[in-house]
Chains A and B, each alone.
Chain A
Amino acid sequence: MNNLTDRVGLGWRPDLAAGILEHLDGIDLLEVIADDFFCAPSRQIRALKTLAAQIPVVLHGVSLGLASSSPVVTERLDRMARLVEEVSPEFWSEHLAFVRAGGIEIGHLAAPPRCSATVDAAAANLHRAQAAVGAKPLVENIATLIDPPASTLAESDWIAGILSSSNCGLLLDLHNVLANGLNHGYDPCEFVRQIPPERIAAIHIAGGKFISAPDGTQRLLDDHLHDVPDPVFDLLEETAARAPGPLTVILERDGHYPSMDSLLAEIAQARRALAKGRERRMRPAEVVA
């Protein structure tokens, strides 16, 4: 029996809007990309508020660079603060990444060196974020094709260090866990077991594709353009078996959109994985003779 109020929702994308609005009864909540609304005209903000009145909405940032060694840019935090104030989401989230450094915009999420210095820098940025926005974000683990150089900590220890220093909750992206595990040689399931379960508040599920490396090997790219693979649902079950609190699961899809029925089927599969994990959690531990 699952007594926890786990929920499964979908990332809001303009291309999916009609389908989402037609099937609101099958979707528990929506995750909106905050950055898409930072410079939006007031009528778009009003539309977002109307949406939030119909279904729970959470905001997701992609460009603050909270795990940068440099202090997060105040103007960017202010924009997030304004949007959070206007929309009143259930929570907001951002990535443990750096996206710019030395005046250069990388254009996407990059993994900083995983060391005690970046644990401290991320914690300081998260305190700044909380002060500006008025609420702590959930922080998300990222996928990286390159193993970040000068790292002295395992990824799970680095994340746990930031969660502990900042007292933030985790948005655990399970496809990112799968991709990093396959690309950098560790067991994704073991990684999930190493994350403090009480910190896990939300989960991303998504799909990707294998791309060829110059040496003929393959790496898994987290592109959000493909269906969620079975190992991600297995990791979801494992997470649900370990996490003591309610979980909010978001299906991310950024293109090559399938039919709404396919997305709803993935949402249903996520619900089944959650239920299986919760059932395992309720089962008494086996006694070893």
Chain B
Amino acid sequence: MSSTRLEAFLARLYVDSDARANFKGNPRAEAKKAGLSDEQCTALENLDWIGLEMAARSFAKKRQLKRRPSWFAAFLLRLSRLRFPPFLQ
């Protein structure tokens, strides 16, 4: 059985808190809506819910770290926000 749809569904759950909330509210219906098989829907109903929340939090932190600009980019950003006196502009 292909896992492509299941991986896409999991990816959505990992990055989207609204999708997680909807899924928690009605796991089988949400999984069905995503086109997952009966077997996969059953597996998702028995999901490691605590692990899901912890993994989502951990992934969010990783994405945040990746977005953090390098010190050089941060320096340039700070420089661009400075207000220089007119004679320097």
Spell out A's residues near B (CB within 8 Å).
68-70, 98, 100-108, 110, 112-113, 115, 117-118, 121, 144-151, 183, 211, 213-215, 217, 219, 221
B47 within 8 A of A: yes
Q: Is the CB of B54 within 8 A of A104?
A: no
Q: Is the CB of A70 within 8 A of B7?
A: yes
Partner of B4, one of A70, A115, A146, A215: A70
The range of chain B's interface size is 20 to 34
Report whether A150 and B6 are in contact in the complex, using a CB–CB cutoff of 8 Å. yes
Question: What is the minimal beta-carbon distance from B73 to any residue of chain A, in angstroms?
Answer: 14
Q: Which residues on the A side are within 8 Å of B47 (C-beta)? A: 146, 149
If the complex has contacts A101-B10, A107-B66, A215-B50, are A145 and B58 also in contact, measured as CB distance less than 8 A?
yes
Q: Provide the bound-state CA to CA distance between A104 and B58, in Å.
A: 16
Known: A107-B59, A110-B11. A147 touches B48 (CB 8 A): yes
B1 and chain A: residue at smallest CB distance: A117
10 CB-based A-B contacts, threshold 8 Å = A69-B3, A69-B7, A104-B12, A104-B15, A113-B7, A117-B3, A147-B48, A149-B6, A214-B53, A215-B50
* A106 to B58 Cα, complex, angstroms: 10
Provide the B54-71 mask, 1 if CB < 8 A to any CB of A, else 0: 110011101100100000
Contact partners of A110 in chain B: CB under 8 A:
10-11, 14, 55, 59
Q: Given A106-B59, A110-B14, A117-B2, are A149 and B48 neighbors across the interface (CB < 8 Å)?
A: yes
The reply to whether the CB of B43 lies closer than 8 angstroms to some CB of chain A is yes
Closest 5 A/B residue pairs (Cβ): A102-B8, A146-B51, A107-B63, A150-B43, A101-B7
- CB-defined contacts of B5 to chain A, threshold 8 Å: 102
Q: Residues of B contacting A118 with CB < 8 Å?
A: 3
CA distance A207 to B48 in the complex (A): 24
Interface residues of B (CB under 8 A from A): 1-12, 14-15, 39-40, 43-44, 46-48, 50-55, 58-60, 62-63, 66
Task: Give A107 to B15 CA distance when docked, in angstroms.
Answer: 9
Residue pair A213, B50 in contact (C-beta under 8 Å)? yes
11 extra interchain contacts, Cβ-Cβ under 8 A, other than A108-B62, A213-B53?
A69-B2, A69-B4, A69-B7, A101-B4, A102-B8, A105-B63, A149-B47, A150-B39, A213-B50, A217-B50, A219-B51
Check if A150 sits within 8 Å of B55, measured CB to CB.
Answer: no
In the assembly, what is the distance between CA of A100 and CA of B15, in Å?
A: 11
**In the complex where A121-B3, A213-B54 touch, is A149 in contact with B10 (Cβ < 8 A)?**
yes
- B3, B5, B47: residue with the most chain A Cβ atoms closer than 10 Å: B3
Give bound CA distance, A194 to B16, whole Å.
Answer: 36
Choice from A105, A113, A147, A217 contacting B3 with Cβ under 8 Å? A113
Q: Is the CB of B8 within 8 A of A108?
A: no
Chain A contacts for B12, CB-based, 8 A: 102, 104
What are the residues of chain B within 8 A of A101 when measuring CB–CB? 4, 7-8, 10-11
Q: Chain B residues near A103 (CB, 8 Å)? A: 8
Q: In the complex where A106-B14, A117-B2, A149-B43 touch, is A98 in contact with B54 (Cβ < 8 A)?
A: no
Q: Are B43 and A221 in contact (CB under 8 A)?
A: no
Q: What's the nearest-Cβ distance from chain A to residue B6, in Å?
A: 6
Q: Do residues B52 and A146 form an inter-chain contact, with CB atoms below 8 A?
A: yes
CB-defined contacts of A69 to chain B, threshold 8 Å: 2-4, 6-7
